[in-house]
Structure 1
Amino acid sequence: MDRPEVEVFHYRDKEQSSNLLLQLNRLRQEKVLTDVLLCSDNTEIPCHRNVLASSSPYFKAMFCSNFVESQQTKIKLNSITSAILSSIIDYVYTGLISITMDIVLPLMQAASMLQYGHLFEACSSFLQEQLSPDNCLSMMRLSDIMNCSSLKCRAKEMAMKSFSDVSASEDLCELSLPELMGYLQDDSLCAEEEQVFETLVAWIHHDPLTRRGAISDLFKKVRLRHIHPTYLFRFIANNPLIQSSTLCTELIDSVRRLMFSVSTTCTGDTAVDFRPLWVAPRRYTYHDMLVVVGGRKNNELTSRDALIFDENNQKWQWLAKLPNRLYKASYVALHSVMYVIGGLTTNTRHSQVNTTVYALSLKTNQWWTAEPMLEPRFAHQSISYLHFIFVLGGLGHDRQMTASVERYNSMFNQWESVAPMPEAVLHPAVAATNQRIYVFGGEDTLQNPVRIIQVYHITRNMWSKMENRTVKNVSAPAVIMDDKIYIIGGYTRRLMAYDVKANQFMKCANLKDRRMHHSATVLNNKLYVTGGRYIIGHDIIEDSDNFECYDPKTDTWTSKGTLPYKLFDHGSLTLTCVSQTWAKR
C-alpha cells in the first residue's frame, strides 16, 4: 500500500516576537549579557550591541564596521540628553514612548540622528496635531530645519488655506524675503489679491528701513488682473510704497492703459515685464460657481431667489433673496460680483420701471444697492467686458422699445450714455469679445424676427449692422467659448457657433426641444443651460426645470438633473469665490 502523503504544518507563534522583546528588555534592566554602555550627562545606559544594531542603521554602521566605536565598551552621545536617550532606548526595547511638547523637538532631533525613522515620523504626527494658523509658518520653518517633508506638507497646506488668519500672525512678519515671496506666489494660496497686497505692505511696515526696497519684487507677486479696478487705482496706486517704486508705478500705468484703451494686449515700455504678470491665472483655491437668479418661478410670481449649484454634491443651495421682485431685469457678472439691473417692479399696486441696480458677492452673501442707471428700462440686455457693464435697449418708462445704450464704469462707479443701436430690437442674443459687442437677431415692434447682426466697436463708440439670413433667434442667450459665440435656441432647437473672424456660422448638436426664455453660462469650458420655456406639439408652451450641459469638444448634450422649480426669464451667471462659505438659507 502507498504511504499517505505527509502534510506540512506551518506554525506561527504570534507572541514570540513580543515576548522576545520583553525578555531582552528584562535582561537589559538586570544588566545581563549587556556589552555596551551608552553615555550622556554622566549617565550610563547598559544595552546589547545586537539589539541596537538590529534597530538602527546608525548603530549597525557603528558596531559592524571598522569604526573605533566597534571596539569600545562605552559610547558617548553628548549631543543627546540622558533623559531623551533613556526614552529612546526604552522605545527600542518596548516599542513604547510618550511624546509631549516639552520633549518633542529634542526627541525628533535624536531620532533623526540615530536614524529611527518611525519615531521621527511619530514626532512629526504629534506636531501636525498641534498645527494652527498661529504656528503653521513656524512649523514650516521647523520642518525645513528638521528636513521633515510630512510636517512641511501639512503646515504649508494649513498656511495656504488659512491665509486670512496667517497673514495677521506675528510669524508672517518674521519671514525672510525669499520665504514670503515663496508663500505669496503659490498658486494654492487661498486669498484674494487685495489681501495679498495688504499682507506684503504689513510685512514691509514691520521693518521699513531694511524692507522698503523689496516692494517691487513683492508687488510682482500680486496678480493685478484679478483685483477690482477701483481698489487698484484708488487705493494701491496711491499707496506711498507703490509711488516710491518706479517699477510698481509702471506696472499700474500698464494696467491703466489697458483698461482705458479697452484692449486685450499689453502695450508700452513695460510690456515685456508686464505680460507674464497680467496673464497669471487665478489661484488654485478659487472656484467658479454657477448661480441662477430671478426669473418667473413656476409661472407664478417673479422670483426673488438666488441659487448656487454645488458641484461637490450636485445640489442647489439658496443664497440671500433679492430685495425686490423684478420682472424682466437683466443679470450680469463683473469682478465676481453679480448685478441685477433695472426691471419692472411687480410688488406694488402700480408697476414701475426701475433704474435700480442690486449687487451681491459670494464673499458676503448680502445684497446692496449700486449706482443706478441713467434711464429706467426692462426686457433689456446686459453684458460685461473688462471693467465695463453695457446695458442695451429694452423697454423704457413709457413701455416703448428703445435703442439707447449706456455703460457702467466700475473704475469710477458711474454710468454714461454711449452710441445707440442702429435698430431697436427686443430679446436678442448678446455677447462681447475682441473689443466688440455682438447683438444677434431679436424681434421688432411687431414681434417679427429680425435677421441682422449689430456690432458695437467699444474703442470707437460706433455701431455697424449687417444682414444675415442664418440669424433667426428670439429670447435666446449667447456665450463665448473657444473664441466662438454660441447662440442657444430661441424658438428653435438650433445651437449655432459664430466664428467672429470668418463671419461664419457653424451648426452644432441640436437642443432636445424648441427652447426660449432660458439662460446660459460657461463653466469649466462647458456650456450650461438652465430653465426656459419649450414648445411641444400643436404649439403648446411649457415651462422647464431642465439643467443641461453642452461639451464643445464632443458636440454632445448631457442632462445635469433639474432646477428646484420651473423657471424662465432668469439669469445664469458664473461667479468666482475663494471658498464655499456663503450662509445657507
Structure 2
Amino acid sequence: MALQPVEMYHYKDTEQPCSVLLQLNRLRQECIFTDVWLCSDNTEIPCHRNVLVCSSPYFRAMFCNNFMEKQQSKVVLKNIKPSILSIIIDYVYTGTASIHMDNVLPLMQAAAMLQYGRLFEGCSSFLQMQLSPDNCLSMIRLSEIMNCRSLHVKAKEMAMNSFSDVSASEELCELSLPELMGYLEDNSLCAEEEQVFETLVAWIHHDPRSRRGTISDLFKKVRLRYIHPTYLFQFIANDPLIQSSTLCTELIESVRRLMFSVSTKCINNTEFRNLWVVQRRYTCQDRLVVMGGRKNNEQTSREALVFEEKTQTWQKLATLPIRLYKAAYVALHSVLYVIGGLTTNAKYSQVTSTVYTLSLKSNQWRLTEPMLEPRFAHRTLSYLHFIFVLGGLGPDRRVTASVERFNSMFNQWESMAPMPEAVLHPAVAAANQRIYMFGGEDTMHNPARLIQVYHIARNMWSKMENRTVKNVSAPAAVIDDKIYIIGGYTRRMIAYDTKSNRFLKCANLKERRMHHSATVLNNHLYVTGDSDAFESYDPKTDSWTSKGSLPHNLFDHGSITLTSVQQT
C-alpha cells in the first residue's frame, strides 16, 4: 500500500541543544571566542558574554544595559569565592553542579545573587535531604535568611510532624516568644496537648528570669478541653508556674467548675468560652477500633483491630490479656476501656469487675480501678469525664438495675441511682446532660416498650412508655441532636430527636443486624458485626454505603472511635 504524502514534517533533534552546550564549553576551556573574564580574588575564568546573558537575568542586565561592565573585558564578582564561581560557570555550560555540605551555603548565596533560580532550588533540595528533627528548627531560620520558601515548607513540616523529638531539642528553647507561639497555636502541630504544656514549661525554665511573665499568654495556646482531667488537675494545676499566674489559675478553676457541673453550656467568661470551644488540631484523627466479641460465632476473641482509612485495611493492636464474654467497650480521653465480662475456661466461668485500658499511643493493656460490682452483658457510655455502666447480669446471672460511674478526674467508681426497670440489651446514648435508655428486654425476655431517662446532674431517673420502642440488642449512637437506634434482629433504624421528643424513620440497613455494634466517625454512623461486612450511614443523605469487610465475622463485640495524633 502506498503511503500518503505529508505536506509538512516538524522534526525535532533533542540532542542538538546538549551538543551545542557541550561544544560551547569546549570553546570556553580552550579560550576560543571568549570575550569576558569573570574574576574572584586572583582567579580569572574566561566566558562568552552571550552565554552568560542567555543564562541569567543578572548578566543580561549587566551586559545589555549601560553599565560599565558592558565595556570591560574583566568583571570582578565580589563576595563569591573562586571555587564557588567555578562551580557556577561549570553549571552554566553543563547544567550540572556537585553540591555538598561544605559548599551548599555559599553556592546558594551566589546562585541567589546571580539569579540562577534552578541552581538555588537544587541547593534547597540538597538541604531538604539533610533534614532531621535535630536540625529542622535551624533549617527554618536558614530558609528565612535565604528567603527559600521550599526549604521553609519542608523544614516546618518536619518540625510539626516530629514535634515529640523537636520539643526535646536545645534549639526549641532558643526560639523567640512569637516563634514558639506560632508553633503552639498551629492546628497542624502533631502533638498531644499534655506535650504542648510540657514544651512551654521547658521553654520558660530555660530562661525563667525573662520568660516567667509569658506563662499566661502561652497557657492560652494549650487546648484544655482535650487534656486528660487527671493530668490537668494533678500536674498542671499544681505546677508552680501555673500557681504564679492569676489568669492560669482562673482558667483551671473554670475547667474544674465545668467538669463538676456536667454541662457544657454554663461558661460565662467570654475569653474562657473561646478557649474551650477551640477545635482539635488537624493531626488529631478519629479512628475506628473493633474489639473483642465472638469470632466467627465460635470462641471469644481477644483481638483489637484498628481500621486504616487510607489503605482500607485492618491492623492488629495488642491482644487483650484474657478472654471476656459480653464485656463492655467504651472510649474516654482517647483511651479504650474494656469493662467487666464473663471469664471462661474449660473448668468454670466467673463474672468479673476488672477494667482494662489501652491507648493507641502506648498500644499496651493495663489493669485499672475495678468496678464496684461484677457484671456482664451490661451497657456502657462516656460523657464528659465520666464512664457510666448500666445494668447487665450479675454474679447470680440475674438482670440487675444497678448503675455506677467512673470518675476519671479521681480515678474512682461510685454508685448511682438504679434504673426504674431492669432491662437487658437496651439501646443507650447520652445527650444534653441525660442518658437515654430505649427498650431492651425484661426479666421474662419480653420486649420493654419504654424509654428510661437519667438526668446526670440530678442523679435521677424517669420513664415513659412508648409503642414505637421495641428494640432488643440494638446499639445507639448520637449525631447532633438525634439518637440513632440501629437494627436489632431487624434492618430498621429510627432516630429519636431529643429536641422535639419524637421519632423519625431512617433508611433501612442493607442487611438484618443483631449482636452488632455501632459508633460515630466523622459524623457518619459505622456499623460492624453479625457478618464480616460493615457499612456507614450519612445522616445528610439518609443513605447507607458499604465500607468493605472485617477480617472475620464478629458478634457481641465493641465498635469504638478513638482519637490519636497521626503523623503525616
TM-score (norm: length of structure 1): 0.93
* AA in 2 matched with 1:357: V
Task: Give SS of 1:327's match.
Answer: coil
> CA deviation digits over 1:309-355, x for unaligned, max 9?
22222222222222222222111110111111111221262322111
Aligned to 1:539: none
Map of 1:417 onto structure 2? 415
Greater shift after overlay, 72-81 or 244-253? 72-81
1:211 counterpart residue number? 211
Unpaired runs of 5+ residues, structure 2, are: none
Deviation of 1:5 after TM superposition, in Å, equals: 8.0
1:41-440 matches, cutoff 5 A:
41-265=41-265, 267-268=267-268, 271-347=269-345, 349-440=347-438
Structure-2 separation of matches of 1:18 and 1:363 = 54
Distance, in Å, in 2 between the alignment partners of 1:252 and 1:503 is: 36
Residue in 2 that maps onto 1:535: none
Amino acid at match of 2:189: L
Shift of 1:450: 1.0
Partners of 1:254 and 1:266 within 8 A in 2: no
Provide the rounded CA distance (Å) in 1 between the counterparts of 2:408 and 2:11: 80
**Separation in structure 2 between the aligned mates of residue 9 and residue 379 of structure 1, nearest angstrom:** 81
CA-atom RMSD, angstroms? 1.9
Shift of 1:56: 0.4
2:351–2:376 contact (8 Å) kept in structure 1? yes
Change (3 A) 1:240 1:348: farther
| Gap change, CA 1:9 and 1:572, over 3 Å in 2 | closer
SS of the equivalent of 2:503 reads strand
Matched-pair contact (CA < 8 Å) for 1:266–1:275: no
Counterpart of 1:358, as a letter, is Y
Q: Does 1:33 align with 2:36?
A: no
Q: Secondary structure at the match of 2:485?
A: strand
1:536 corresponding residue in structure 2: none
> Matched residues in 2 for 1:295 and 1:474: separation?
18
> Does the CA contact (< 8 Å) of 1:266 and 1:274 recur in 2?
no
Q: Is 1:560–2:547 an aligned residue pair?
A: yes
Q: Following TM superposition, by how much is the alpha carbon of 1:125 offset from its aligned partner in structure 2, in angstroms?
A: 0.8
**Which one-letter code corresponds to 1:555 in the other structure?**
D
Alpha-carbon distance in structure 2 between the residues aligned to 1:198 and 1:414? 26
Work out the percentage of aligned pairs sharing the same amino acid.
Answer: 78
> In structure 2, what is the Cα distance between the partners aligned to 1:108 and 1:446?
82
Question: Could you say which residue in structure 2 is the equivalent of 1:475?
Answer: 473
Distance 2:294 2:287 in 1: 22
Aligned to 1:576: 563
The worse-fitting range, judged by mean Cα deviation, of 571-580 and 109-118 is 571-580
- Rounded to whole Å, the distance in 2 between the matches of 1:366 and 1:277 is 32
State whether residues 513 and 529 of structure 2, in contact with CA within 8 Å, keep that contact through their aligned partners in structure 1: no
Contact 1:292 / 1:306 at 8 angstroms: preserved in 2? Answer: yes
TM-superposed CA distance for 1:266, in Å, is 5.1
**1:547 is matched with which residue: 514, 520, 534?**
534
The one-letter code matched in structure 2 to 1:37 is: W
Contact 2:327 2:338 in 1 (8 A): yes
The verdict on how the C-alpha distance between 1:580 and 1:560 changes in structure 2, with shifts beyond 3 A counting, is farther
Counterpart contact for 2:428–2:436, Cα < 8 Å: yes
Distance 2:567 2:367 in 1: 24
Q: Deviations over 1:31-86 (max 9, x none)?
A: 33333332222333332222111110011111112333323333222121222112
Q: Distance in 2 between matches of 1:56 and 1:260?
A: 69
AA in 1 matched with 2:396: D
- Checking the alignment, whether the CA contact within 8 Å between 2:190 and 2:567 is kept in structure 1 is no
* Preserved CA contact (<8 Å) 1:324 1:347: no
Q: Please, which moves more after superposition, 366-375 or 313-322?
A: 313-322
1:66-113: CA deviation from partner (whole Å, max 9, x where unpaired): 333323333222121222112211211222221110010010011011
User: What SS does the corresponding residue of 1:480 show, helix, strand or coil?
Assistant: strand
Q: Secondary structure at the match of 1:399?
A: coil
| SS of alignment partner, residue 288 of structure 2 | strand
User: Could you tell me how far 1:580 is from its partner in structure 2?
Assistant: 8.1
Between 274-283 and 255-264, the greater mean CA deviation after superposition: 274-283
Q: Does 1:489 align with 2:487?
A: yes
**Hey, what's the Cα distance between the residues in 1 that align with 2:480 and 2:350?**
40
Conserved 8 A contact 1:90-1:97: yes
Structure-2 residue corresponding to 1:531:
529
Take 2:326 and 2:87, find their aligned partners in 1: how far apart are those partners?
75
2:322 partner letter? N
Contact 1:418–1:461 under 8 Å retained in 2: yes
Task: Tell me, yes or no, if structure 1 residue 466 matches structure 2 residue 453.
Answer: no
SS in 1 for 2:212: helix
Aligned partners of 2:390 and 2:423: how far apart in 1?
Answer: 9
The answer on whether the counterparts of 1:408 and 1:416 sit within 8 Å (CA) in structure 2 is yes
Distance 1:119 1:454, change over 3 A: same
Deviation at 1:12, TM superposition (A): 4.2
Q: Aligned partners of 1:9, 1:264: CA distance in 2, in Å?
A: 75
* SS of equivalent to 1:343: strand
For the residue of structure 1 that corresponds to 2:513, the secondary structure is strand
Amino acid at match of 2:493: L
CA contact (8 A) 2:379 2:389 kept: yes
State the distance in 2 between where 1:85 and 1:307 align. Answer: 59
Residues paired across the two proteins, number: 565
Given that residues 429 and 487 in structure 1 are in contact (C-alpha distance below 8 angstroms), is that contact kept between their aligned partners in structure 2? yes
How far apart are 1:400 and its partner, in Å? 2.1
What is the alpha-carbon distance in structure 1 between the residues aligned to residue 404 and residue 100 of structure 2?
67
